Amino acid sequence: MTVARPRVLLADDAVLIREGVAQLLRAGGCEVLASLEDADEVPSALASFDDIDALVLDIRMPPTHTDEGLVLLERLRADGAQIGVLLLSMYASPSLALRALSAGGATGYLLKDRIRDGGTLVDAVRTVSRGGTVVDPEVVALMLEASTATSRLDALSSREREVLSLMAEGRSNVGIAKQLHLAVKTVDSHVDHLLTKLHLEASTDEHRRVLAVLELLRAREA
C-alpha cells in the first residue's frame, strides 16, 4: 500500500545536506516531522510523534562518524520496529548494503549523489515506508559484476538478472515492466522463475523479494 503523504524523520550531521534533503522530501509530498543532527536524538523523536512512516539516516554521524546510522537501524530492528529506514551513504559499499538489509525488510541504501534527483529520493522513501527494499543502482551494478562462479545467481538467465537488479533498486513488477518494455505478466513470470531458481521458499511476496536481494548482496561477499 502506498502512503499518500509519508511522515518522515531525518537525521544527518551535515546541515547543508540535512536541509537540502528536507526540502526535496517536502517538495515530493512528504511531511518532515523533525530534522536531527545525530542518531542519539532519534529515539526520543520517535517517541514524540505518532504514525511515522520512515526514517532517513546518514550512515556516518557523530560521535565516531563510522556506522552510527547502521547501529541505530540494527537496534530498532532488534526492538521489533518495522518502520521504514532509508540509509544515505557517500560510498557504494555492497558490504554496508548487505549489513543494512540483513537487519530486516523496509530498508534502503542510497548514495548521497543520488539525492540530487528528488524523485529518486522520494520514491525510495515511499518504497521503504510500504515495507519494500531499495539498493542504489551503482551498488547493484557492482554486485552483479562481482558475482562468483559458485553463486546461485549463475542459474539465472540474463533477463532474470535484469529483473533481479531492478527488484534490488526497489521497483515493483509494474515498474520493472515499464523499464524493460515488457508485459507485467511476463515480469511476473520472470520473478517467479528467479525466486524458484534461488530456492526461496514460498512466503509473503515482499519477504521473498528481500531474500532475493540478499542473495545478490551475498554474491559480492563470496
Question: How does pLDDT run along the chain (222 residues), one tens digit per residue?
Answer: 566 799 999 999 999 999 999 999 999 999 999 999 999 999 999 999 989 999 999 999 988 899 999 999 999 999 999 999 999 999 988 889 989 999 988 999 999 988 888 899 999 999 999 998 999 999 888 877 765 544 678 889 999 999 999 999 989 999 999 999 999 999 999 999 999 998 887 665 667 888 888 888 877 555
Nearest to 7 by CA among 39, 54, 43, 48: 54
* The pLDDT value given to residue 86: 97
Which residue has 554521524 as its cell numbers? Answer: 61
Q: Give the separation between CA 211 and CA 195, rounded to whole angstroms.
A: 9
Four-way CATH pick for 139-221: 2.40.10.120, 1.20.950.20, 1.10.260.40, 1.10.10.10: 1.10.10.10
Q: Do domains 7-135 and 139-221 have the same CATH topology?
A: no
Please report, for the chain, the start and end positions of each structural domain, with discontinuous segments joined by +.
Answer: 7-135, 139-221
Instruction: State the architecture of 7-135 in CATH terms.
Output: 3-Layer(aba) Sandwich (3.40)
* The pLDDT value given to residue 146: 64
* The pLDDT value given to residue 205: 63
Q: Give the separation between CA 70 and CA 79, rounded to whole angstroms.
A: 14
* The pLDDT value given to residue 45: 94
* The pLDDT value given to residue 6: 95
Here the contacts of 60-63 (C-beta below 8 Å, separation 24 or greater) are 60/89, 60/90, 61/11, 61/12, 61/13, 61/37, 62/13, 62/37, 62/38, 63/38
* The pLDDT value given to residue 116: 81
Sign of torsion, CA 110 84 165 174?
A: negative
* The pLDDT value given to residue 144: 74
